[in-house]
Amino acid sequence: MSISYTGHCAFPKGEAQYRIDHLRRARPDWFIDMHRLTDASDLGPFGAQIAREFGIEAKCVFGIHLLNKDWLEQSRDAVEFVYEVFGTDTLVITFGNDSVREALRSYPGVEIG
């Protein structure tokens, strides 16, 4: 059983990558050991259209792949933290690339610097 999420991000690829790197540094237990957090990548041929269906004008995407389904409970907190770092206005995370995994609350995003 594979558990994967896709982050559809309104930030340019470089800014998204900066935040992905921050996530890895801030919580290596979640984003190196528990999940494979992929680098930001281009949307691909239909990526912008797909993201619009989820309510965001995405400029890039990235993956969050749970490495062991036994960690599913802890994974929920990790995915929520991704929303916290990116902000809910600039990120939509989908589960299985067809349904939105909504944030539990609204986040403005964090200043990284």
40-78: per-residue pLDDT in tens?
999 988 888 889 999 999 999 999 999 999 999 999 999
Instruction: Collect all residues with Cβ–Cβ distance below 8 Å to 11 and sequence separation of at least 6.
Output: 19, 59, 60, 86, 90
The residue extents of the domains of the chain are: 3-100
Please list the residues that pair with 4 across neighbouring strands: 65
The tokens of 56 are what?
């965001």
Judge whether residue 16 has pLDDT over 80.
Answer: yes
Which pLDDT value is given to residue 71? Answer: 92
Looking from the CA of 25 toward its CB, the CA atoms found within 13 Å total 9
Tell me: pLDDT of 1 over 60: no
pLDDT at 96: 73
CATH number of the domain located at residue range(s) 3-100 in this protein:
3.30.70.2920
Element (H, E) at 8: strand 3-9
Cα 113 to Cα 12: distance, rounded to the nearest angstrom: 17
The confidence score (pLDDT) of residue 2 equals 73
pLDDT of residue 105: 97
